[in-house]
C-alpha cells in the first residue's frame, strides 16, 4: 500500500490541468480527495474518473474570490475529518499579458484576490486542520516568473511573487513548532489551458503533461524534507 493511503487531501484548482492530474494521482495512491474549483461539471468529470479507477473523491465547488466560501469549506472538512493531511494549492488565474502601464486594474485586483488573498485565507482557515495531522503538508504551485519576471507578465508575476513569499514565510513560521511541512513547487513548462492561452503558437507536445508534475508531487509527499522545501519539475 502507498504511504499516502488513507490520508485526506484537499486540492484546489482540481477541475483541470495540474490540479486535476494531482487529484487523480493522489486518489490512485489511496488518499481520498476533496476537489475544489468553480466549475462544477468539470469537477464532476474529474471525480468520475477517480471513481472509475477505484478511488474516492468529494467535490466542493468554491469560488476563491469569496472568503466566506473558504471558511465554509474549512468548517465542512472539520466536521467530517479530524485532520487534513495534504493541501495542494494549484488554483490561480492568469490576467492578460500586457505592458505594466496598460495593466487593467480590475484584472489585477482579481489576480491578487485569487492568487494572493485566497491563499492567505486558505492557509489561515486550514492551518488548524493541517496541524492536527501527524504529517501535514502544504504544497503550493508557483511559477519561475515569481523570481525571474519577464516583460508583459507583470500582473501575474507580481501576484505569484507576493504569494510565494507568503507561503515561504508560513513554512518558516511553522517548521519549529509543528509537524507541518511546506513545499513550493515550480511545475515548469506544462501542457495546461493557462499555458495554451499564454503561448498560443506553441506545440502542446513540446511541453510535459500535467501528469508528470502530479506524479512528482505525489512522490514528494512520501519523502522527508526540510520545510519550506522548493523544487522545480523538469521534463520527464
DSSP state of 4: T
Annotate 17-80 with three-state secondary structure: HHHHHHHHHHHHCCCCEEEECCCHHHHHHHHHHHHHCCCCEEECCCCCCCHHHHHHHHHHHHHH
Residue 131 CA to its chain's centroid (Å):
18
Active site residue 156: yes
Q: Which residues pair with 104 in a beta bridge?
A: none
**140, 156, 170, 199: which is the annotated catalytic residue?**
156
CA distance 79 to 115: 27
Strand-by-strand arrangement of the 33-36 sheet: 57-59, 33-36, 9-12, 86-89, 137-141, 181-186, 229-232
Task: Map 96-147 to HEC letters.
Answer: CCCCHHHCCHHHHHHHHHHHHHHHHHHHHHHHHHHHHCCCCEEEEECCHHHC
Phi and psi torsions of 81, nearest 5°: -125, 145
Instruction: Give catalytic residue positions.
Output: 156
Amino acid at each position: 500500500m502507498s504511504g499516502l493511503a488513507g490520508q485526506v487531501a484537499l486540492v484546489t484548482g482540481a477541475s483541470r490541468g495540474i490540479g486535476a492530474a494531482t487529484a487523480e494521482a493522489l486518489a490512485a495512491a489511496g488518499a481520498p480527495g476533496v476537489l475544489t474549483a468553480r466549475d462544477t461539471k468539470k469537477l464532476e468529470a474529474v471525480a468520475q474518473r477517480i471513481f472509475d479507477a477505484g478511488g474516492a473523491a468529494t467535490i466542493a465547488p468554491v469560488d476563491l474570490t469569496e472568503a466566506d466560501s473558504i471558511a465554509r469549506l474549512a468548517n465542512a472538512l472539520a466536521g467530517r475529518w479530524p485532520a487534513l493531511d495534504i493541501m495542494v494549492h494549484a488554483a490561480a488565474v492568469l490576467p492578460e499579458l500586457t505592458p505594466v502601464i496598460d495593466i487593467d486594474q480590475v484584472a489585477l485586483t482579481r489576480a491578487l484576490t485569487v492568487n494572493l488573498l485566497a491563499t492567505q485565507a486558505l492557509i489561515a482557515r486550514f492551518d488548524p486542520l493541517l496541524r492536527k495531522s501527524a504529517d501535514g503538508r502544504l504544497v503550493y504551485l508557483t511559477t519561475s516568473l515569481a523570481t525571474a519576471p519577464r516583460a508583459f507578465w507583470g500582473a501575474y508575476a507580481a501576484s505569484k511573487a507576493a504569494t510565494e513569499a507568503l507561503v515561504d514565510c508560513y513554512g518558516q513560521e511553522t517548521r519549529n513548532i509543528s509537524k507541518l511541512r511546506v513545499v513550493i513547487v515550480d511545475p515548469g513548462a506544462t501542457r495546461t489551458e493557462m499555458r495554451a492561452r499564454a503561448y498560443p503558437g506553441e506545440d502542446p507536445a513540446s511541453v510535459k503533461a500535467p501528469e508528470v508534475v502530479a506524479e512528482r508531487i505525489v512522490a514528494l509527499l512520501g519523502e522527508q524534507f526540510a520545510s519550506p522545501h522548493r523544487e522545480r519539475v523538469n521534463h520527464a
